[in-house]
Amino acid sequence: MNALHNRFLGVVLALTSILAITGTSQAMAASAEDLERNARQALDTLYKSHPVAETLSRDAKAILVFPNIVKAGLVFGGSYGEGVLLKDSEVTDYYNSVTGSWGLQAGAQSYAYAVFLMTDEAVSYLEKSKGWEIGVGPTVVLVDEGVAKNLSTSSLKNDAYAFIFSQQGLMAGLSIEGTKISRINR
């Protein structure tokens, strides 16, 4: 009976976490000006911590920047954040990023991520699709320290490169797989 009680409590806490994330998505919704400012500040932070990202930005056709993703979970989890699409340093559209997950996980954290779209095809796919699911469509490489050491403009072969940065909080595991990115109106 005690195991059943603990499992039920875990499910209730997980659902509460998910509802907290989705319920606060409206509260997290920043004005277009705030979102643009936060995205530019996030890019500056990324460039200082990963100079290769700034090098990539020079050849990128567009950059999708999510300055604040909030993730929480206990067995079941989710994340939400809003971002901008930059082309030639100008904001052209607004997007949200939503992830749902289940498995061995516990905790809460916030982070930022940026996806450097290197081909016109990748940009076109994002703009024309009803929602881009990472892992479907253009090839996205998650850049970590090992990949960054070997990355140069002459070695670029993929459609998109993603950086996760500015992590705060404690959560076991972090990825952008299973994330759906959709255009939103501002």
Residues 6+ apart with CB under 8 A from 21: 70, 71, 72, 78, 79, 80
pLDDT at site 26: 42
pLDDT at site 22: 45
CA distances from 174 to 4, 126, 130, 185 (A): 29, 23, 25, 28
Give the type of residue at 165: F
Chain centroid to Cα 169, Å, comes to: 16
pLDDT at site 58: 93
pLDDT for residue 150 is more than 60 = no
Place of tokens 């699709």: 129
Per-residue pLDDT tens over the stretch 27-47:
345 699 999 999 999 999 999
Q: Are 75 and 66 in contact (CB under 8 A)?
A: no
Q: Are 171 and 128 in contact (CB under 8 A)?
A: no
Residues 6+ apart with CB under 8 A from 97: 66, 69, 79, 80, 81, 82, 83, 113, 176, 179, 180, 181
pLDDT for residue 83 is more than 60 = yes
Q: Which two tokens stand for residue 35?
A: 């979102």
Residue 180: pLDDT band by 50, 70, 90 thresholds?
confident
Residues 6+ apart with CB under 8 A from 73: 14, 17, 18, 101, 105, 106, 107, 108, 171
Q: How many Cα atoms are found within 13 Å in the side-chain-facing hemisphere of 129?
A: 17
Residues of the chain above pLDDT 90, percent: 36
Q: DSSP states of 46-59 as a string? A: HHHH-HHHHHHHHH
Axis crossing angle, helix 51-59 with helix 32-49, rounded to the nearest 10: 120
The DSSP output letter for 120 is H
